């Protein structure tokens, strides 16, 4: 559990407070927790660390918790001091203490100290108390919004749903994690079992290879719950690379069919590996028509300019055959779900993703969002850095909740262009603080020389630059952060006419048949 992270954050729902008559409280449970905190030094420290006063619904219980907490925090000499029953009574004798904690009495403190409770169940008690607290807030939310629905003729369904999702995200930050130490022997045995499973190909079925060797050799595939940032300056090909990754993942079950290792595995293992992968691609910048044109272009290597000019496309038999091939072969097995959102609110994005997860029976495998800086929050706090921090954290939490890797594309600040060394650094990410903290993997694309640095990516993909593009343009890929692996750097080749990246030295774009 991340310590001191459970207190409900000040936010737009601070005005929603528990009802005074809420049924979601348990006086005996609160007393048991306080009793254990008085008689057990370790549990006292733990209770102060993971509990907050608002979790204690009964006023005397809440005041006693605050008294113990304040005593602990005021002990600046040694924060490990344990305040016993005697210490609490001695402090309560002070006049100022009686005034501050006016709901307490000697009899009440005595009754708490003599309450029977099992110290070993302290964490279970704390989780129950936490759940009751969240239920009180949920109850208050429904009461307030029921009034809005009843009394406001202009109540908006989507806005209420957005508020509800935001409310859950805010209050759901209060979570417990009962982690524990394990011995070297236990850890080593578990690790050996994982290695055996990998050798038998019984694991890592949920690990998604990008099928770019330069990238996969460092990150070892995208894993459930990861939050990945892909960043570059405009015109380098962020969207193209993300679409290439989506295409490769969507079609990786086809690659596995011809893999000799898979043919030696049991039918049970093969079935999961060969299941078509489902990818959500959310674009806040390009319409679906452009995204699918790029996907077709890179999949069957038809220059994008020909797709944008159908007369030229169908004037060449080989390109028409490629076009037909995509619709006859690839279309049934490429499960990429595109969405060019009309709204950029993070709550809408999360809601639509969760809806797709349900529609796919929890078999959504990968999510790409293009791009991070275009997303907004529902509130306007006037500070874009804080807003991006909220968005970044929400996406990381979503990845963990759904157990799906999420890749978010990101801009780089213009300062990178003013330096002599123009290779991107993590601090070049726009509003970088929270992004750097939340991301498990940060990938940069960089190009020293562009065919036409004054033009857009679309212009650079045109046939006017074909002579420059013919052999592909060297693009550096940098794994600047890799939480569970090593950092690294490598080279790709970008073939602009078909918006396709290739591993350098493995595939040569100028060997691709391409008639102009």
Please tell me which residue, 26 or 191, carries the higher pLDDT value: 26
Mean pLDDT to the nearest integer, 28-43: 89
Q: Are 444 and 488 in contact (CB under 8 A)?
A: no
Mean pLDDT over each residue of the chain, to the nearest integer: 79
Each residue's pLDDT tens digit, 486-510: 899 999 999 889 999 988 766 544 4
Task: Tell me how far CA of residue 164 lies from CA of 137, 145, 246, 336, in angstroms.
Answer: 12, 9, 31, 29
pTM: 0.62
Q: Does domain 27-171 have CATH number 1.10.860?
A: yes
Task: State the number of CA atoms in the 13 A half-sphere of 190 facing the CB.
Answer: 6
The answer for residues whose C-beta is within 8 angstroms of residue 38's C-beta and 6 or more apart is 44, 68, 84, 85, 88, 112, 113
pLDDT band (50, 70, 90) for residue 41 = confident
Per-residue pLDDT at 148: 83
Closest CA to 245 of 268, 200, 277: 277
Percentage of the residues of the chain whose pLDDT score is greater than 90: 16
Mean pLDDT to the nearest integer, 203-216: 81
Closest CA to 4 of 38, 61, 45: 45
Per-residue pLDDT at 428: 78
Q: Taken in order 270, 272, 273, 275, is the CA torsion positive or negative?
A: positive
Element counts in the chain: helices (H) and strands (E): 24, 9
SS3 at position 161:
helix
Q: Is residue 35 pLDDT above 50, yes or no?
A: yes
Per-residue pLDDT at 132: 92
Find where tokens 């060394």 sit.
Answer: 421
Percentage of the residues of the chain whose pLDDT score is greater than 70: 79
Closest CA to 472 of 514, 516, 513, 510: 510
Tokens matching residue 156 = 């908006």
Task: Tell me how far CA of residue 9 lies from CA of 55, 79, 169, 399, 428, in angstroms.
Answer: 14, 25, 11, 21, 29
Each residue's pLDDT tens digit, 87-113: 888 888 888 888 888 899 888 988 888
Which stretches does DSSP call E strand in 301-427?
Answer: 335-340, 366-370, 406-411
Each residue's pLDDT tens digit, 229-245: 999 888 889 999 999 99
40: left (phi over 0), alpha (psi -120 to 50) or beta: beta
Task: Kindly report the CATH number that applies to the domain delimited by 219-260+272-511.
Answer: 3.40.50.300
Tokens matching residue 183 = 């011995």
- Cis preceding-peptide flag for 120 (omega within 30 of 0): no
How far is 435 from 33, CA to CA, in rounded Å? 38
pLDDT band (50, 70, 90) for residue 394 = confident
Q: Are 333 and 254 in contact (CB under 8 A)?
A: yes
Each residue's pLDDT tens digit, 274-312: 678 999 999 888 888 899 999 989 888 989 988 888 888
Mean pLDDT to the nearest integer, 475-487: 89
Tokens matching residue 51 = 């509990």
Same fold flag, 27-171 and 219-260+272-511: no
Q: Is residue 267 pLDDT above 50, yes or no?
A: no
Give the domain ranges of the chain.
Answer: 27-171, 219-260+272-511
Mean pLDDT to the nearest integer, 457-482: 66
Mean pLDDT to the nearest integer, 142-149: 86
What residues pair up with 340 in beta bridges, in sequence order? 283
Each residue's pLDDT tens digit, 72-91: 777 644 444 667 888 888 88
Per-residue pLDDT at 60: 93
Q: Is residue 402 pLDDT above 70, yes or no?
A: yes
Q: Taken in order 23, 27, 32, 35, is the CA torsion positive or negative?
A: positive
Per-residue pLDDT at 227: 93
The answer for residues whose C-beta is within 8 angstroms of residue 29's C-beta and 6 or more apart is 125, 128, 129, 132
């Amino acid at each position: 559990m991340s310590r001191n992270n459970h207190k409900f954050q000040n936010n737009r729902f601070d005005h929603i407070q528990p009802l005074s008559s809420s049924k979601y409280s348990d006086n005996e449970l609160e007393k048991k927790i306080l009793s254990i905190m008085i008689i057990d030094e370790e549990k006292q420290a733990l209770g102060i660390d993971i509990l907050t006063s608002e979790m204690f619904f009964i006023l005397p219980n809440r005041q006693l918790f605050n008294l113990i907490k304040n005593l602990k925090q005021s002990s600046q000499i040694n924060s490990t001091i344990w305040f016993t029953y005697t210490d609490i009574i001695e402090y309560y004798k002070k006049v100022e203490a009686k005034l501050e904690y006016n709901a307490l009495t000697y009899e009440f403190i005595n009754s708490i100290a003599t309450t029977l409770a099992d110290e070993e169940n302290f964490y279970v008690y704390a989780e129950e108390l936490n759940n009751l607290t969240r239920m009180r807030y949920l109850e208050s939310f429904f009461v307030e919004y029921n009034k809005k629905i009843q009394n406001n003729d202009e109540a908006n369904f989507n806005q209420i749903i957005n508020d509800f999702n935001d409310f859950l995200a805010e209050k759901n930050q209060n979570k417990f994690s009962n982690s524990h130490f394990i011995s070297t022997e236990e850890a080593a045995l578990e690790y050996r079992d994982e290695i055996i499973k990998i050798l038998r190909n019984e694991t890592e079925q949920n690990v998604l290879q990008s099928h770019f060797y330069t990238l996969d050799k460092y990150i070892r595939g995208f894993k459930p719950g990861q939050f990945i940032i892909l960043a570059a300056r405009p015109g380098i090909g962020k969207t193209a690379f993300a679409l290439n990754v989506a295409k490769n993942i969507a079609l990786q079950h086809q690659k596995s069919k011809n893999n000799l290792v898979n043919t030696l595995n049991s039918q049970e293992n093969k079935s999961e590996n060969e299941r078509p992968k489902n990818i959500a691609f959310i674009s806040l910048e390009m319409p679906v028509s452009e995204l699918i044109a790029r996907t077709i272009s890179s999949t069957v290597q038809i220059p994008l300019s020909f797709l944008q000019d159908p007369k030229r496309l169908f004037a060449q038999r080989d390109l028409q055959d490629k076009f037909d091939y995509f619709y006859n072969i690839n279309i049934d097995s490429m499960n990429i779900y595109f969405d060019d959102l009309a709204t950029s609110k993070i709550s809408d994005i999360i809601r639509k993703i969760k809806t797709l997860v349900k529609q796919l029976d929890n078999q959504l495998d990968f999510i790409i969002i293009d791009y991070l800086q275009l997303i907004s929050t529902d509130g306007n706090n006037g500070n874009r850095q804080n807003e991006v921090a909220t968005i970044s954290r929400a996406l990381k939490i979503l990845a963990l909740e759904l157990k799906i890797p999420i890749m978010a594309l990101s801009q780089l600040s213009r300062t990178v262009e003013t330096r002599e060394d123009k290779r991107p650094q993590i601090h070049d990410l726009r509003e970088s603080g929270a992004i750097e903290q939340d991301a498990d993997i940060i990938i940069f694309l960089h190009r020293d020389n562009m065919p036409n640095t004054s033009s857009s990516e679309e212009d650079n993909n045109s046939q006017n630059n074909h002579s420059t593009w013919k052999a592909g343009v060297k693009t550096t890929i940098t794994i600047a952060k890799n939480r569970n692996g090593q950092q690294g750097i490598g080279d790709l080749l970008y073939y602009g006419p078909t918006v396709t990246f290739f591993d350098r030295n493995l595939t040569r774009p100028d060997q691709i048949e391409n008639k102009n």
